Amino acid sequence: MTALSVFAPAKINLFLAITGRRQDGYHELVSVTAPVEFGDTLRVEAARDFSLACDDATVPVDETNLVLKAARAFRAATGWGGGARFTLEKRIPLGAGLGGGSSDAAAALRALNALAGEPLASAKLAEVAAQVGSDCALFFAGGPAVMRGRGERVEPLAEEAAARLRGRRVLIFKPGFGVSTAWAYARMAAKPETYLPLAGAEARLAAWRDDARVPASALLFNNMEPVVFAKYLALPVLLEQLRAKFGLTARMSGSGSACFALLGDADGGDEKIPAIRAAIRGAWGESASAIETRLG
């Protein structure tokens, strides 16, 4: 095998509780994430060394990119002497809270493992991914998952609970601006009252996970919203409009700026989608995007 193409899905945080700051500067969290059927494509060809090209000029293609960081980490973990030419078709927007860079890094690790003859099992690849970035390991879970720690501790959501999410229609929408993850976490650190204690986070998660009668919409939570919404007022204004006019319960994914709403027969059937899209453009302008997809 000398060339292959790997899909790198976006993710959304259906449940995100930041529980406190660690001594190493990272934050502790409890989060339920799910990949979606929308994302980037990473094409990989065997080469003498590692290089990266991208069809989006705003994406850095130097050593700061997580794809190349993942490649270096793979070489260090395996001793593999080969290289790869990466070509990234970028569809996941930057500064969105959709895990695009982390997913691209996970895709790179999968591709390199295939090119090298599968020297690492999936669990070991996930360990390498966790060293590259806090969100990278979740893309090896294969579906809805629970993240803990700084994001490196990942376990698939129990099948009974995952089945209540997998395949659900979701609308992901983003304004023309992004939100810096580092800025959002710094704002939370400056306002420790915004943290949700670990026991409370686990209790909220368990209340949904352990009762099949509780709808998926009851899981939705993100305690990063208050600090982000305080600066980016366009986000809460639109979310309230969508709730009042269409009955949609929308949340921000990760540190934003992308938001999402689960769709169903009672809260956003096909006939409503054009009106919802129009409301998003009316609030956020023509630079806003809205993508209908499904949870993986």
Catalytic residue numbers, as ranges: 11, 135
Q: What are phi and psi of 276, to 5 degrees?
A: -65, -45
CA angle 34, 38, 39 (to 5 degrees): 95
Report the distance separating Cα 141 and Cα 134, nearest Å: 14
Sequence-separated (6 or more) residues with CB below 8 Å from residue 230: none
Q: Which residue's entry shows tokens 């994302």? A: 39
Torsion of CA 274, 276, 279, 284, to 10 degrees: -100
Sequence-separated (6 or more) residues with CB below 8 Å from residue 129: 70, 105, 106, 109, 136, 137, 139, 140
CB atoms near residue 162 (< 10 Å): 19
